[in-house]
Structure 1
Amino acid sequence: MTEYLLFPGRHHVLTRFQGEFLKQFAERTVVWAVTSANHRTTKRNPVAFDRREAAIERFSVAEGIRSLVVGVVDTPPTDEFAEVTVKAIEAGTDDLVRLTPENTVVACSTPEVSKLYEQLGYSVIGVEPEGTTRPWDVLLMIAAGNEQWKELAHPATVDVFERYALDAHVARCVNDPVVGDDGGLTTTRDYKTYADAFETAADRKWQQIKAFVRPGRILDIGCATGATLQLVDRDPRFHESDLIGVEVARHLFAECEHKKEQGLFSNPNVYFYQRNMLGSAVFPPRSIDTTLTLALTHEIWSYADGSRPDTVQRFADALYAHTAPNGVWINSDVCGPDEPDRPVVLRLDDSDGENPDDITELESLDDPATYVGKLSTRARFFQFAHDFRRNANVPFGYEVRADGLVLRLADAMDFLTRKDYVDNWLSETHEQFCGLNFASWTTVAERAGFTIDPSSTAWRNDWVVDNRITPVASITTPTGDPVDWPVTHQLMIARR
């Protein structure tokens, strides 16, 4: 008699059909290999492993099935998926369960996955025949708000979803316009590079903002790796404060939780949420004393769902709503120049790299960073224009005039402040640094109800100007008069 029935899958939703199917194997132990167990709050994997496991256990009791539930971490597509899963089950049961073709039958309806198990010698039986509503179809019904999902899902899933409000959570994840299938803003983003940059910049940013932070409930939206909250944690003024981080990107959120598990925070009241703040309200009204948005608001603008002005206003309105009386919103980020539409002539060095005749579709390259890194500054401009227009959905108009490029000052600065970000080029060209200038951002905050503190200011990063821009670029008026480099950053202190 075969001892085990291996049932691999993500198992976000269990169905009534699965209950009837598995009753046939009541004499065997069903081994639920829950794949992508380390993922949650993504389009592909919205439900956390512990919730999936809870539903499976309730399902097993209800159907009289003996089950073992083992989480399998997400892996890139591989022909060794079946072998990896079997080994993960051995590790997850401390080697008490060893699945072999002699003692195990695999239940799977995905032909590609079934083939991998068959190549290892396992017998495979299908679960859902053609025409049967599959679990993922039920999950999409939940995301669409179709209440008929409850008629197809097993009562165990319905119970867990209702108790933990997972139907709303699934809808928020699946329908999120910003976050990709695997919980990132873009599929091309190198999160290690981003994490390193955030860690390096945290102390500098903290020195800039720490005088304005109010004790109480301190919220860092877009907290990245939690580096700024670590600095708040070390400041004795905030010893009794609650420190709250919100991060939408799965990779960065995981690092925040890892730091907390390692004991890198002395304050026990440190909490992290993986959430897109544009999706819905996260905190009760008037409950937050300090909100930090560091290098975030340009992303709110860039990844807006629909009208960008409406999106950033909605974001500011939500911040005002959750800010306590006498609370503060501290915004430190890039911004556009004071005169964004001013026409300028931009001249760029073409001797510092290669100058190909044509633009390259970078997605077709194995190593876009190396290719862009070899381009001259001038050639990099034309590549940027091509990628920026389609990725950020902006006009980015310019005219070639002799050795100069005539364009808006804001567009010139969008290129010049991003031209050296070759490691994340495709990701960076989704974002617009100069969509709004400082005056526009303060207007957004005032419309929400905030009062702008006199300490607020726009400023220029002279290190970037002196070391990255001036050596390879210059700007003049169309008549040839020199133009000073404009502001590049803002510090806005908005009080309620």
Structure 2
Amino acid sequence: MDDQQPPSYVLFPGRHHLLTRFQADYLCRLADRAGPGEVTVVWAVTSANHENTRRNPVPYHRREAAIERFSLLAGLRSVVVPVFDTAPTERFAEVTLKSIAVATGLELTPADTLVACSTPGVAVLYEKLGFAIAGVEADPEAALPGGAGPERPWDVLLRLAAGDGTWRELAHPATVDVLDRYRLVDVVRAVANDPVVGDEGGLTATRDYRTYVEAFADGAARKWELVRRHVRPGRIVDIGCGAGAILELADRDPALRESDLVGVEVARHLYEECVHKKAQGGFGNPNVYFYRRNVLGGAVFPPRSVDTTLTFALTHEIWSYGERWESLRRFVQAIYDHTVPGGVWINSDVCGPDNRDRRVVLRLDTTDGANPPAPRTDLAGLPPGDVARYVAGLSTRARLDQFAVDYRFGLPFEPVEGDAGRVSLTLADAMDYLTRKDYADNWLSEAREQFCGIEFADWKALLTDVGFEIDFASGTFRNEWIVDNRIAPVASLARPDGQPLDWPVTHVLLVARRPRNT
């Protein structure tokens, strides 16, 4: 650390989800070394617009509260600045400095500022701008006997997530106080140990949310018409609400004007769109609320508190990204538990065909695109646009070869001798491919999901086992538009003996009620 020029400011960039006793001692020593005059610690809180994810489990306003309390207890003069997340860039240090200048008017320079940073990759960006660096946990002067440095805040947070109570001994009392008062300890543990949600709060990092939102919005009116008559007024919850398209339609329904409308969404991009719509006056009902939660991370609503739960195109994702039956049953149980006696869960989703494991012969068009000698194995390393263009240029038959490579659930098939377009496989595998083959824009994301893992008989057994009663309106159906426009023009289905088969069901509507006497 360079002591020749006493700094007026100590810039301390980081996510700051957890503050440590070591940080307090270290920052106080920096302030003392600066000599006469007051040193201001500028806390640049990065990823300030992220919360409820593994990398960012604590919301910014709680982090800010802990920093302010930390500063008071440590006797430090501090300024706290939120820095929104940006795409990875070599100009990260410059972006942070500009964010500070815009928020506070402080133009930090190497002449008056020391940067406190223990992350080498970040520290070097400030060094390139001429700033001196204090290494905090990486400072050689901070090394413990044996040469190891003090535990970094993230390591202490991992102790918390693992249920190791010693985190309280290493964390600063300000952090302990804020996490306890706002009951964030359990939140951090749930998010950090969530088996479904990715580091940044989505189910998959390869999904193009723009096209996803557009497709869902286009079909919202049809979906609402399908379920509207089964909705029970009161507290209506849409889990996996996307950008809120269904709740917008519920908001316009006069019969539901006295109801609370609640959207739950785990994907940060979609949740932020919901909040934006509400802020822009997109809902007439004042009792519209949005939560960013993952229902598998713990109960979202109190027991027996929800009249209607809506889920659209969600349960196959829980099956696909979770632990299949275990995750799905846990989800269904959570729905049952929060449903009032007499309340209803309405689930609309893709569905596997009846007798899904029977063998069939699928004939696919070989003339509607390219037929390379072998599928590619490097798509995961390409830009999304390149993936989309390559897949879109394949024939329907060649696209099956590519899907079999990228599909994480495995899609075994056997070519039929004498006809390059015919293959033998299970009915479920055939429909999993045919219902996904046209998603070139989200190819790798769709290849991580299984549409046909569950058939209607499985659903009936699961729901009744948990305690639901299945309404007579429940059943399967076939999306005729998909069959007529996407599947039938380029494919045909037959039994192993060659007898033609009709296309099976593709979707399910489940109307499940919790009995009134429970």
TM-score exceeds 0.5: yes
Which 10-residue stretch deviates more, 332-341 or 32-41? Answer: 332-341
Shift of 1:138: 0.5
Which 10-residue stretch deviates more, 189-198 or 149-158? Answer: 189-198
Query: Match for residue 136 of structure 1?
Result: 154
| SS in structure 2 at match of 1:218 | strand
Q: Does 1:357 align with 2:373?
A: yes
Query: Match for residue 207 of structure 2?
Result: 189
Shift of 1:123: 1.6
Which 10-residue stretch deviates more, 109-118 or 56-65? Answer: 109-118
Query: Match for residue 59 of structure 1?
Result: 70
| SS in structure 1 at match of 2:493 | strand
Shift of 1:397: 2.2
Letter in 2 for 1:364: G
- Superposition map of 1:197-276 within 5 A: 197-276=215-294
Shift of 1:396: 2.4
CA distance in 2, matches of 1:312, 1:117: 47
CA distance in 2, matches of 1:65, 1:346: 71
**Cα pair 1:4 1:28 within 8 Å, conserved:** yes
Shift of 1:439: 2.2
Which 10-residue stretch deviates more, 16-25 or 412-421? Answer: 16-25
**Cα pair 2:404 2:410 within 8 Å, conserved:** no
Letter in 2 for 1:396: L
Q: State percent identity of aligned pairs.
A: 62
Gaps of 5+ in 1: none
**Cα pair 2:44 2:96 within 8 Å, conserved:** yes
| SS in structure 1 at match of 2:451 | coil
Letter in 2 for 1:31: V
Shift of 1:291: 0.4
Shift of 1:334: 0.7
Query: Match for residue 79 of structure 2?
Result: 68
- Superposition map of 1:53-452 within 5 A: 53-93=64-104, 95=105, 97-128=106-137, 129=139, 130-305=148-323, 308-361=324-377, 362-366=379-383, 367-388=386-407, 391=408, 394-402=409-417, 403=419, 404-452=422-470
Which 10-residue stretch deviates more, 314-323 or 43-52? Answer: 314-323
Shift of 1:381: 0.3
Runs of 4+ in 1 over 2 A off after TM superposition: 394-397
CA distance in 2, matches of 1:272, 1:443: 32
Letter in 2 for 1:182: E
CA distance in 1, matches of 2:212, 2:427: 27
Candidates 28, 42, 59, aligned match of 1:48: 59
Q: Does 1:11 align with 2:22?
A: no
CA distance in 2, matches of 1:22, 1:431: 48
Shift of 1:422: 0.8
Shift of 1:341: 1.6
CA distance in 2, matches of 1:137, 1:265: 43
CA distance in 1, matches of 2:330, 2:155: 32
**Cα pair 1:183 1:251 within 8 Å, conserved:** no
Letter in 2 for 1:379: A
Query: TM-score normalized by structure 2?
Result: 0.92
Deviation by residue 1:13-53 (Cα, 9 ceiling, x = unmatched): 00000111111316201100000000001111111000000
Deviation by residue 1:100-131 (Cα, 9 ceiling, x = unmatched): 12221111111211111111121211111352
Query: Match for residue 145 of structure 2?
Result: none
CA distance in 2, matches of 1:47, 1:16: 19
Shift of 1:185: 0.9
CA distance in 2, matches of 1:408, 1:271: 44
Letter in 2 for 1:256: C
Letter in 1 for 2:353: P
Residue correspondences, number: 488
Letter in 1 for 2:330: R
Shift of 1:410: 1.0
CA distance in 2, matches of 1:364, 1:35: 27
CA distance in 2, matches of 1:227, 1:272: 13
Shift of 1:59: 0.3
Query: TM-score normalized by structure 1?
Result: 0.96
Shift of 1:475: 0.6
CA distance in 2, matches of 1:92, 1:491: 50
CA distance in 1, matches of 2:368, 2:277: 41
Shift of 1:442: 2.2
Shift of 1:372: 0.8
**Cα pair 1:29 1:65 within 8 Å, conserved:** yes
CA distance in 2, matches of 1:54, 1:312: 37
**Cα pair 2:351 2:507 within 8 Å, conserved:** yes
Shift of 1:457: 1.8
Gaps of 5+ in 2: 1-5, 33-37, 140-147
**Cα pair 1:312 1:444 within 8 Å, conserved:** no
| SS in structure 2 at match of 1:385 | helix
Letter in 2 for 1:6: L
Q: Aligned-pair RMSD on alpha carbons? A: 1.2
| SS in structure 2 at match of 1:263 | coil
